[in-house]
């Protein structure tokens, strides 16, 4: 009997990272029920040995079993660019185009100072930080718990920075994920009553400077083009380096995303 060693490696990864998802013939599948779509989608990065139809059916079955909408994430790095059109032919609608922005740490500019009463705090446990994000963003309990699980099981260092008001209440949060000299910015959220006051920008500046002292040489983040924060990031020195988008069935977009 001939053993497909490539598929065997995928299966070994499935067993080693149950919370983070699985591999389907070159497709990386995330199954975390968190708010972020990038954690619960198919990333068809690599070349496949099986037909698109076979892999597509496998992906749909996996998401159905996990009680999640089947979502695909398409980037410029997809090995087979025809996948985007094949999904469109099956009724999967393109939505939520997202900008990936990056900047060298040495070129970042400080664009805002926090109100004098605001202070920054670190060293939060993942569960505690996830509760703060959920309260600020309005996440459900399931989304909050999935976020805490993802952070707790991260294979690379991640750290939350929280801005607090004079009363000691959390009013803004940013997560920095460090990996091979890159500092990824995630889950940036500011309480609605404190937006437009420079809190978020000052928090981000503080968190990135901390990352730089830890050896990061490049910062990156992901944001939708319509997000007003794009202007802040551009003033800080971030520039768009590429774009990705999602595809899903119309019936799955509204109720699940």
Runs of H (alpha helix) within the chain: 5-16, 52-65, 82-89, 126-137, 141-152, 199-213, 229-236, 250-256
Q: With pLDDT > 90 as the criterion, what percentage of the chain qualifies?
A: 65
Helix (H) and strand (E) counts in the chain: 8, 11
Q: Is the pLDDT of residue 7 over 70?
A: no
Measured in degrees and rounded to the nearest 5, phi and psi for residue 241 equal -110, -25
Among 12-16, 170-174, 243-247, the range scoring the smallest mean pLDDT is 12-16
pLDDT of residue 5: 55
Q: CA 160: distance to chain centroid?
A: 14
Q: Is the pLDDT of residue 75 over 80?
A: yes
Q: How confident is the model at residue 6 (pLDDT cuts 50, 70, 90)?
A: low
Q: Is the pLDDT of residue 232 over 70?
A: yes
Structure tokens at 87: 């999904």
Measured in degrees and rounded to the nearest 5, phi and psi for residue 20 equal -85, -15
Name the residue with higher pLDDT: 187 or 114.
Answer: 187
Closest listed residue to residue 206, CA positions, set 168, 245, 174: 174
Q: How confident is the model at residue 14 (pLDDT cuts 50, 70, 90)?
A: low
Span 75-91, average pLDDT: 94
Concatenate the DSSP letters of all residues of 183-212 into one string: EEEEEEEE-GGGTTTTHHHHHHHHHHHHHH
| Whether the Cβ atoms of residue 67 and residue 99 lie closer than 8 Å to each other | no
Closest listed residue to residue 103, CA positions, set 206, 241, 238, 212: 238
Q: How confident is the model at residue 135 (pLDDT cuts 50, 70, 90)?
A: very high
Angstrom distances, CA of residue 155 to CA of 12, 63, 149, 180: 16, 24, 12, 12
Q: How confident is the model at residue 21 (pLDDT cuts 50, 70, 90)?
A: confident
Q: How crowded is residue 44: how many other Cβ atoms within 10 Å of its Cβ?
A: 28
Q: State the average pLDDT for the chain.
A: 88
Predicted model pTM:
0.86
| Whether the Cβ atoms of residue 55 and residue 48 lie closer than 8 Å to each other | yes
Q: Is the pLDDT of residue 141 over 90?
A: yes
Q: How confident is the model at residue 33 (pLDDT cuts 50, 70, 90)?
A: confident
Report DSSP state, residue 181.
Answer: T
């Amino acid at each position: 009997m001939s053993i497909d060693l490539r598929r065997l490696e995928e299966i070994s990864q499935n067993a080693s990272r149950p919370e983070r998802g699985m591999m389907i013939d070159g497709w990386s599948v995330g199954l975390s029920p968190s708010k972020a779509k990038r954690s619960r989608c198919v990333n068809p990065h690599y070349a496949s040995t099986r037909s698109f139809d076979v892999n597509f059916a496998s992906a749909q079955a996996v998401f159905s079993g996990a009680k999640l909408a089947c979502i695909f994430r398409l980037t410029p790095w997809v090995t087979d660019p025809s996948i985007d059109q094949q999904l469109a032919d099956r009724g999967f609608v393109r939505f939520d185009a997202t900008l990936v922005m990056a900047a060298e740490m040495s070129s970042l500019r400080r664009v805002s100072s926090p109100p004098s009463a605001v202070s920054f705090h670190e060293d939060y446990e993942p569960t505690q930080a996830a509760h703060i994000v959920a309260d600020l963003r309005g996440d459900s309990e399931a989304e909050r718990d999935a976020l805490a699980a993802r952070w707790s099981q991260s294979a690379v260092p991640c750290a939350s920075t929280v801005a607090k008001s004079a009363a000691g209440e959390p009013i803004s949060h940013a997560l920095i994920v460090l990996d091979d000299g890159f500092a990824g910015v995630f889950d940036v959220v500011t309480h609605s009553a404190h937006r437009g006051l420079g809190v978020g920008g000052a928090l981000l500046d503080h968190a990135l400077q901390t990352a730089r002292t830890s050896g990061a040489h490049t910062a990156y983040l992901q944001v939708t083009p319509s997000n007003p924060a794009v202007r802040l990031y551009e003033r800080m020195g971030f520039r768009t380096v590429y774009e990705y988008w999602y595809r899903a069935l119309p019936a799955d977009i509204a109720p699940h995303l």
